[in-house]
Amino acid sequence: MNFWSTMQEMLSPDDAGKSAPAPDAGRAGPAIKPLPEDALIIIPLRNAVLFPGIMSPVTIGRPSSVAAAQEAARSERRVGFLLQRDPQKNDLTPDDLHWVGTAGQVVRYITGTEGAHHLVIQGQSRFRVLEFLNGWPFMVARVSLVEIAEETSPEIEARFIQLKERAIEAIQLLPNVPAELAGVVQTLSAPTLLADMVANLLDLKNEEKQEILETFAIKQRLDRVLGLLGERVEVLRLSKEIGDKTRKEFDERQREHVLREQMRQIQKELGEGGETAAEIEELKAAIDEAGMPEDVHKHAAKELKRLQRMGEGSAESSMLRTYLEWLSELPWKAEPRKPIDLSEARQVLDEDHYSLEKIKRRILEYLAVRKLNPDGKSPILCFVGPPGVGKTSLGQSIARATGRKFQRVALGGTHDEAEIRGHRRTYIGALPGTIIQAIKRAESRTGVLLLDEIDKLGAGGFHGDPSSALLEVLDPEQNSKFRDNYLGVDFDLSKMLFIATANLLDTIPGPLRDRMEVIQLPGYTEEEKLEIARRYLVKRQLEANGLKEEQVILTDAAVRAIIGDYTREAGVRNLEREIGAVMRSAAMKIAGGQAAIVNVDAADLHAILGPRKFEDELALRTALPGVATGLAWTPVGGDILFIEATKVPGSGKLILTGQLGDVMKESAQAALTLAKMYSGDSLEKTDLHVHVPAGATPKDGPSAGVAMFLALASLLAGKPVRSDVAMTGEISLRGLVLPIGGVKEKVLAALRAGIKTVMLPRRNQKDLEDVPAAAREKLEFVWLETVEDAVRCAIGGEPAQLFSRDKQEDTQAGRVFQ
């Protein structure tokens, strides 16, 4: 366990002797194309594993790593650090790397001598690589961040305390670890951080460190680190005993002197030290020019004085400097806004999005109100709808339409209030929360801030409720004095334009929902999707794959086939993905010289995208009696679901399986009672089994009533339900069909699934006007007043005859099981 020597090892240039471009070479080249949102710039590390919460110096030399670091520093993007499997290898392919690493920030970038570049990097969170992407002068990968909730349980707590004690013991035994470290460990309160920090300190092989990095579960990770630390402490004790005897002459002071000398060397290498005075001058100028309110400026000046007194080199001074940099770099000044031009805004909205007429009008109204009363307290717009319908991109469009800077804060999985409001400065590795970070990225406090997926906000737990922090952000009464824990001073958010998005309204905490004006985006019809593909998606995917418009001809029939056979969604996200796959295959052909122009028609899709994904499911599933196609409202628009009924010998029980809420169970019971009544069979020797597959939400329970009844009726009559009919409706015990919600989503889902006839409660007839005309024209609607209407349409024939004629067959069918 040799802390400083490990650091020095990392410092020794990993590519000594190899040439690297000058630091600004990247800028001279062609502009770098933007990275996808979920992608990270990757810097491979030869012989170091970076842990979250750890700051560490590294030296890079490979031209691609240098380009990566420069791009990261320029765009202030996070970087993913991955350990390479063989430290000797220079030219890397994805397989040469471990696919789990740590995302973090390049905190400092220093150009060294002889082509080596020194970085100080700060690890933030674990991630897993999904795939590597091509097209950049450095490695880029799509990743998913591994969010590790800071859970507590007695088991974890016990291990945590034990690890802390052992770590402090180890630190005291160590000949060359700074004594302050024990104090730092003592104050740590997060088990994950402690485990990572100790793993970082232990002189383990990189492979062992990697293994700990890949142990996501906190309990297992604590165990593993405890085990390794235990071994180490034993060895240390022994060697200390021996050392005490044989090396008594080793003077404590001398040791400290050597350590300090080493530290100075490191700082010199990093280009730190010596420049402190100039740096403080610079910082002072930045603070003076930042346009801070008076009290904040006073506070900053005071902290700057403290920094000056502190002198260089200590951990605290670097923390304080980072803090002051944050303060000075925030956009305190409110830039003058040019007034909103409504006709220009309309034009931008039309340029960016096809259709969505009602929604655009609503946005323009909103902007008009803002124009008339710029400082008024307008509500927060919230776009609600399934994935891929354009919620996020509408937000971007609004920013463009109003000439504001755009930033997005992804709220999905935010469990901790501190993620929004920041950690106190005393906390190691503390940073401002996501709101302040976004404001800094936006370089504006009058821009558009998109609070994306606000419905995925985690419930408040151990560390406070994130929704209460958001509430404060959105509250016009409070947000002019928003206080981030890290900043510790007020920041005025009142001129920010907030927009929220959500898949589902239900899961947005009530008080938040009350602040917002909801705009629903239900999803697109096939025609709309075709237009969106033609006007936007195809172009974008051509461009993304470096193709010219004339090089690939994608026919409308092909796009329709992708919509119908390869995607089943309310939005256009998968559609865009599949079009991307088509373009990639075309690009391969053109690049390989097999063709100059690629023509893609519906018939070619099989070879490119594989077998159709949603083929003839309807006909297959409903071929036997006992299956009815229901329509359900789901968080992602609507969907069809197959409700299945079967019977087995028994004692008249109703067995229900699948995704059923209480309401749905009641309605299954009602359906059974009705079915018994119509069939005239008391079913005393039969158990009926109704299965409702996953996908329907419990809230939507009663609307499956008609479908459950039909499934049972079809089973008892021994006749299948028509495969091209889908239905929704609640039933009463007297056989009346009662109205339901979500007509538009359900109808669109039916159309997507290839249904021809939709049966709806008569009392929902008025809701049909919400359904786009193009969709209405393609479907036949049958309005139900009673369940008998449903039987007539979907099974055929008069209910009374149906059952009496088939009674015989029915009992025979039952015999199969005896």
Give me the residues that bind Mg ion (CB under 5 A), please: 392
**Residue 409 binding: pick among ligand ADP, Mg ion, none (C-beta 5-8 Å cut-off by kind):** none
- Closer residue to Mg ion, CB minimum distance, 392 or 485: 392
**Cβ within 8 Å of residue 699, ≥6 positions away:** 506, 661, 663
Query: In this structure, what are the phi and psi dihedrals at residue 486, rounded to the nearest 5 degrees?
Result: -70, -45
Q: How far is the CB of 758 from ligand ADP (least distance, A)?
A: 24
CB atoms within 10 A of CB 25: 14
- Closer residue to Mg ion, CB minimum distance, 102 or 392: 392
Q: Which residues of 311-342 are buried (b: 16+ CB within 10 A; e: fewer)?
A: ebbeeebbbbbbbbebbbebbbeeeeeeebee
Using CB under 6 A as the binding rule, whether residue 401 contacts ligand ADP is answered as: no
Q: How far is the CB of 351 from Mg ion (least distance, A)?
A: 19
Token couple for 70:
């420069």
What is the dihedral angle through the alpha carbons of 559, 564, 565, 567, rounded to the nearest 10 degrees?
90
CA distances from 58 to 14, 16, 259, 264, 752 (A): 9, 13, 19, 16, 53
Using CB under 6 A as the binding rule, whether residue 536 contacts ligand ADP is answered as: yes
Helix (H) or strand (E) holding 109: strand 100-111
- Closer residue to ligand ADP, CB minimum distance, 532 or 779: 532
Among 387, 735, 761, 772, binds ligand ADP (CB under 6 A): 387
Q: Which residues are catalytic?
A: 703, 746
For residue 33, give the DSSP letter.
Answer: P
- Closer residue to ligand ADP, CB minimum distance, 211 or 528: 528
Using CB under 6 A as the binding rule, whether residue 193 contacts ligand ADP is answered as: no
Positions in 353-372 near ligand ADP (CB under 6 A):
353-356
> By CB neighbour count within 10 A (0-12 exposed, 13-18 middle, 19+ buried), where does 655 fall?
middle
The separation between the first and the last C-alpha atoms of the chain, rounded to the nearest angstrom, is 73
- Closer residue to ligand ADP, CB minimum distance, 115 or 571: 571
Task: Report the residue closest to ligand ADP, judged by CB.
Answer: 390
Token couple for 535:
């006007």
Phi-psi region of 754 (alpha: psi -120 to 50; beta: other; left: phi over 0): left
Using CB under 6 A as the binding rule, whether residue 392 contacts ligand ADP is answered as: yes
Cα 27-30-31 angle, rounded to 5 deg = 75
Among 388, 523, 705, 742, binds ligand ADP (CB under 6 A): 388
> By CB neighbour count within 10 A (0-12 exposed, 13-18 middle, 19+ buried), where does 185 fall?
buried
CB atoms within 10 A of CB 29: 10
Phi-psi region of 390 (alpha: psi -120 to 50; beta: other; left: phi over 0): left
Phi-psi region of 680 (alpha: psi -120 to 50; beta: other; left: phi over 0): left
Token couple for 120:
């100080």
**Cβ within 8 Å of residue 523, ≥6 positions away:** 385, 386, 389, 569, 570, 571, 637, 638, 745, 748
Query: In this structure, what are the phi and psi dihedrals at residue 313, rounded to the nearest 5 degrees?
Result: 95, -30
Using CB under 6 A as the binding rule, whether residue 393 contacts ligand ADP is answered as: yes
Q: Where does this chain touch ligand ADP (CB under 6 A) — which range of 73-81, 348-356, 398-406, 420-428?
A: 348-356
Q: How far is the CB of 581 from ligand ADP (least distance, A)?
A: 16
**Residue 678 binding: pick among ligand ADP, Mg ion, none (C-beta 5-8 Å cut-off by kind):** none
**Residue 355 binding: pick among Mg ion, ligand ADP, none (C-beta 5-8 Å cut-off by kind):** ligand ADP
Please give the order of strands across the beta sheet that includes 725-727.
654-658, 686-692, 637-649, 627-634, 725-727, 757-761, 780-784
Using CB under 6 A as the binding rule, whether residue 499 contacts ligand ADP is answered as: no
Determine the Cα–Cα distance for residues 423 and 326; give it in Å rounded to an integer.
14
Asked whether 387 and 573 are in contact (CB, 8 A), the reply is yes
**Residue 389 binding: pick among Mg ion, ligand ADP, none (C-beta 5-8 Å cut-off by kind):** ligand ADP
Determine the Cα–Cα distance for residues 328 and 298; give it in Å rounded to an integer.
12
Determine the Cα–Cα distance for residues 402 and 323; give it in Å rounded to an integer.
32
Determine the Cα–Cα distance for residues 399 and 348; give it in Å rounded to an integer.
10
Using CB under 6 A as the binding rule, whether residue 772 contacts ligand ADP is answered as: no
**Residue 665 binding: pick among ligand ADP, Mg ion, none (C-beta 5-8 Å cut-off by kind):** none
Q: Which residues of 479-500 are buried (b: 16+ CB within 10 A; e: fewer)?
A: beebebbbbbbebebbbbbbbb
Q: How far is the CB of 576 from ligand ADP (least distance, A)?
A: 6
Q: Where does this chain touch ligand ADP (CB under 6 A) — which range of 110-118, 315-323, 549-557, 571-579?
A: 571-579
Q: How far is the CB of 465 from ligand ADP (least distance, A)?
A: 25
Using CB under 6 A as the binding rule, whether residue 572 contacts ligand ADP is answered as: yes
**Residue 702 binding: pick among ligand ADP, Mg ion, none (C-beta 5-8 Å cut-off by kind):** none
Using CB under 6 A as the binding rule, whether residue 406 contacts ligand ADP is answered as: no
Q: Where does this chain touch ligand ADP (CB under 6 A) — which range of 192-200, 388-396, 670-678, 722-730?
A: 388-396
Q: How far is the CB of 34 from ligand ADP (least distance, A)?
A: 13
Q: How far is the CB of 387 from ligand ADP (least distance, A)?
A: 4
Among 532, 618, 643, 749, binds ligand ADP (CB under 6 A): 532
Q: How far is the CB of 355 from Mg ion (least distance, A)?
A: 18
Determine the Cα–Cα distance for residues 82 and 129; give it in Å rounded to an integer.
10
Using CB under 6 A as the binding rule, whether residue 676 contacts ligand ADP is answered as: no
Determine the Cα–Cα distance for residues 470 and 500; give it in Å rounded to an integer.
11
Q: How far is the CB of 523 from Mg ion (least distance, A)?
A: 14
Q: How far is the CB of 364 from ligand ADP (least distance, A)?
A: 16
- Closer residue to ligand ADP, CB minimum distance, 359 or 558: 359
**Residue 370 binding: pick among ligand ADP, Mg ion, none (C-beta 5-8 Å cut-off by kind):** none
**Residue 63 binding: pick among ligand ADP, Mg ion, none (C-beta 5-8 Å cut-off by kind):** none
Q: How far is the CB of 275 from Mg ion (least distance, A)?
A: 44
Q: Where does this chain touch ligand ADP (CB under 6 A) — which range of 5-13, 249-257, 385-393, 544-552?
A: 385-393
- Closer residue to ligand ADP, CB minimum distance, 40 or 349: 349
217 SS3 class = coil
Number of residues that bind ligand ADP (CB under 6 A): 18
Using CB under 6 A as the binding rule, whether residue 391 contacts ligand ADP is answered as: yes
Window 303-342: contact mask with ligand ADP (x via CB under 6 A): ----------------------------------------
**Residue 388 binding: pick among Mg ion, ligand ADP, none (C-beta 5-8 Å cut-off by kind):** ligand ADP
**Residue 772 binding: pick among Mg ion, ligand ADP, none (C-beta 5-8 Å cut-off by kind):** none
Task: Report the residue closest to Mg ion, judged by CB.
Answer: 392
**Residue 572 binding: pick among ligand ADP, Mg ion, none (C-beta 5-8 Å cut-off by kind):** ligand ADP
Q: What is the DSSP string of 503-528?
A: S-STTS-HHHHHTEEEEE-----HHH
The closest of 329, 56, 374 to 209, measured between CA atoms, is: 56
**Residue 224 binding: pick among ligand ADP, Mg ion, none (C-beta 5-8 Å cut-off by kind):** none
Among 573, 621, 665, 676, binds ligand ADP (CB under 6 A): 573
- Closer residue to ligand ADP, CB minimum distance, 388 or 754: 388
Binding region for ligand ADP (CB under 6 A): 353-356, 387-393, 501, 532, 536, 571-573, 576
